Chains A and B, each alone.
With several copies, the nearest count.
Chain A
Amino acid sequence: MLNKVTATALEAMRHVKDGDTVLIGGFGLAGQPAELIDALIERNAKELTIVSNNAGNGETGLALLLKSGCVRKIICSFPRQHDSYIFDALYRAGEIELEVVPQGTLAARIQAGGSGLGAVYTPTGYGTLLTEGKETRTIDGVDYVLEYPIKADVALIKAYKGDRWGNLTYRKAARNFGPIMAAASKHTIAQVSEVVSLGEIDPEHVVTPGIFVHEVVCIEGEAA
C-alpha cells in the first residue's frame, strides 16, 4: 500500500539539499505554503534558488526564508510589494540575486519544464529590458522571444484536500501556481488542510493527479 502522507513538514524536507532549485507556490499569501516554508527554513539548506511569483510579505513565510540567509537567487515576476521590506533590503545590499520574469512567461517556463518541452517562443516581453540578449524570431508576423523551461528539484505547494496517492484539490484563487509547479519538480511536497480517503475526491474533480505529487503533509487547523 502506497502512502504519500508524511507526518511532519520537517520530515518532508529531508530531500532538500544545498544548491537546490525550489518552486514555491502562492500569489501573495493566497496559496503560499507557509508551514512548509517554515520547515524549509528549519532544514537550513544553503544556496537555494527560489522560484515564486513574489518575494515575500512582512516577516512571514517566503520573506522569513529570504531573511534566513538560505537563498542565493530568486526568480519571480513581482518582488516589490508594499511590505516586501526584507527582500528590498537584501536586494539593495547585493545579498540576493534577482531574475524578474513576466508572470505569464514564468508560468509558461514552468509548464515547459513540467511537460518536457525544450523551449517555447512567447510574444511576452519582446523588445523590453527583461528579454535583452535573448534569442528572438518573427513567426507569421509576430515577434517572439525564446524562453527556456524552469525545472526544479523540489516544489512546495499549498493545496486543499489530498489523499494517500497524492491527488489534490485546491481552494479558490489559492490554486494559482500549485498545479503547474507540482508538474515541474522532481520532488513535490504539498501541504493540505485535510487528508481524505482514496476515492473521496471525485476523479472528475482531481486538479493535480497524484503522479505529480510525492509527499502530502496535513497542516492541522488550517481549514477555511
Chain B
Amino acid sequence: MSEYTPRSVDEIAKRVAQDIDEGMYVNLGIGQPTKVADFLPKDKDIFLHSENGVLGMGPAPDEANQDGDLINAGKQYITLLEGGSYFHHGDSFAMIRGGHIDLCVLGAFEVAENGDIANWFLGRPKDIPAVGGAMDLAVGAKKVYVIMDHVSKNGDPKIVETLNLPITGERCVNRIYTDLAVIDVTDDGLVVRDMVDGLSFEALQAKTGATLRPA
C-alpha cells in the first residue's frame, strides 16, 4: 500500500473554493464549510448568504468591531461587504427554497450513493433534535457540495449505499469533498474526480461503502 497524506481541513476548504466561480450565490454551512470563505479569491465577486438574513458577508471583524446584531447562521461575528443587504427570514428562505442559491456547502454524517444526505441528527436516545436550515438548504440550493472526512473516527465509511442515519434531504448532494478525494454524485453513480497523491483507487474504494467509478 502506497504512502499518502490526507488533505487537511484547510486543504479541503481550499479545494472547494477552487470550484466556486465569480457571481455565484453561496451558502456555507456551519462548521468546516465556513472555512471555505477564507480561500475564496479576493478579486472575484462571490456572494455569501447567511440564513439569518444577510447577503454579501465579509470576513470576520476584529474584536473592536464585533456587533451582536451582525452574526452568521453559526452565530459568529461577521462583517458586511459594500453592496450587501439585510432581509427577513421569509425572504432569506425564499432565496434558499426558491432555488436562488447557486451552491450550498454542507457538512455531513453520511452521504448515500444516490445523493441522499444525513447531517442533522444522530438519533441516539439522549440526542435532542435540532435541524436549523439544513433541510431547506439540502433541497433548495441548485447544487449541494459536502465536506466531510472520508471515514468516521471508528474507520467506518461515511459514503454509503443507503443511509444509516436519519435523512436530511433526498438525492440532493452533487459532490463530496473528503480528506482523501473529490467524488461526484452522478446519474451513473459515484465518480472519483481526484484523489490525494499516493492513494490508489482500490484503497479509496476499500474505505468507501458504495461502488466508486474512475472519472
Contact = CB atoms under 8 A, between A and B. Distances in A.
A and B touch in the complex (CB under 8 A): yes
A10 interface: no
B130 A79 contact: yes
Interface string B53-93: 11110000000000111110101000010111111111111
B83 A210 contact: yes
Given A77-B133, A171-B69, A211-B49, A103 B86 contact: no
Interface in A145-201: 163-165, 167, 170-180, 183-184, 198-199
Interface in A77-100: 77-81, 88, 91-92, 98, 100
A114 interface: yes
Nearest to B134: A102
A201 to B, nearest CB: 8
Interface residues of B, number: 62
Given A115-B97, A210-B47, A211-B49, A124 B88 contact: no
A110 B75 CA distance: 22
Interface size classification for chain A? 35 or more
B139 A175 contact: no
A180 B89 contact: yes
A30 B51 CA distance: 13
Count chain A CB atoms within 10 A of each CB in B47, B53, B68 and give the residue with the most: B53
B114 interface: no
B132 to A, nearest CB: 4
A139 interface: no
B90 A170 contact: no
Interface string B115-137: 00000010100101111111110
Interface stretch (A41-49, A58-66, A127-135): A127-135
B94 A114 contact: yes
Count chain B CB atoms within 10 A of each CB in A30, A102, A163, A184 and give the residue with the most: A102
B94 A115 contact: yes
Nearest to B57: A173
B170 A28 contact: no
A26 to B, nearest CB: 10
B178 interface: no
Contacts of A2: 22-23, 44-45
Given A107-B92, A175-B87, A28 B70 contact: no
Given A104-B93, A203-B86, A224 B135 contact: no
Interface in B141-188: 166-170
A32 B151 CA distance: 39
Contacts of A203: 56, 80, 84-86
